[in-house]
Amino acid sequence: MPDNLLLAREGQTALITVNRPQVLNALNSQTLIELGQAIADVRSDASVRAVVITGAGGKAFVAGADIGELAALSPADARKHALLGQRVFAAIEQLGKPSIAAINGFALGGGCELAMACTLRVAADTARLGQPEINLGILPGFAGTQRLTRLVGKGAALDLLLTGRHVTADEAHRLGLVTRVVPAADLLATVSALATELAAKAPIAMQYVLEAVQRGGEIPFDDAAVLEASLFGLACSTADMHEGTRAFLDKRKPAFKGE
């Protein structure tokens, strides 16, 4: 069992909770390694169709990297640490299943980077987000400069990265950094319902949508359109496609099996 994570199942949803509330769920190397293993386990479990990631306690999603650990790293070890975080967050982004960050408090530095690696980000109205690394004399190391720029645009990203300021959940929503904002008391129920909704969709089509958006966003438009057409063709070869079209014609809800 991991020391710094809590793992739970609710139907077809896996819930991963970063469980270091005494340090506002700061990400140290051990936590990153445990998170990477949890994501690998979720990937290989076909019965899991959606993943929720959140933080323990009422104050923080993840307040950032573990500064005590970070301050003691040599330059070479700091680079290794950054690459570890990048690999784990890339595994979340490339999971092939939807992941939802339930942002229940501070999501700063590495916490904001973790949230950005998720498919969707639902924030409590009390949450605060930001990339304050500049105030420590460093910059984001877990690909935060890249994901933030892709989510909110170059100008807004530079504003946040260069000032290190925190933004409210409402401002983060206006910027496109989070996808939804809900009252804090409703956060987990809202995210649970959303995860259940996503888990009921066709999992192969879901995987292809994620691939089309993620890979397509990094290549020229014409090449991305060809990728989409190829994935569309593959989706049309699945039993889920036949179930979905039959259910539509029969005016009933489809029962997708991921086949």
DSSP label at residue 11? T
Q: Tell me how far CA of residue 234 lies from CA of 167, 205, 225, 238, 240, in angstroms.
A: 42, 9, 14, 7, 11
Determine how many CB atoms are found less than 10 A away from the CB of residue 25.
Answer: 30
Strand pairing class (166-168; 128-130): antiparallel
The set of residues, in sequence order, having a beta carbon less than 8 Å from that of 33 and lying 6+ positions away, is: 84, 88
Which letter, b or e, does each residue of 98-123 get, where b requires 16 or more Cβ atoms within 10 Å of its Cβ?
bbbbbbbbbbbbbbbbbbbbbbbbbb
* The one catalytic residue among 10, 133, 197, 228: 133
34 given a catalytic annotation: no
Q: What share of the chain is helix, strand, coil (3-state, %, to 5)?
A: 55, 15, 30
93 given a catalytic annotation: no
Q: Which two tokens stand for residue 89?
A: 């967050």
Angle of helix 75-93 versus helix 29-44 axis, rounded to 10: 20
The set of residues, in sequence order, having a beta carbon less than 8 Å from that of 216 and lying 6+ positions away, is: 224, 227, 228
Q: Are 245 and 251 spatial neighbours (Cβ–Cβ below 8 Å)?
A: no
* The one catalytic residue among 10, 34, 93, 113: 113
The set of residues, in sequence order, having a beta carbon less than 8 Å from that of 89 and lying 6+ positions away, is: 113, 114, 117, 142, 143
Tokens 């987000």 identify what position? 129
As annotated, the active-site residues are 113, 133
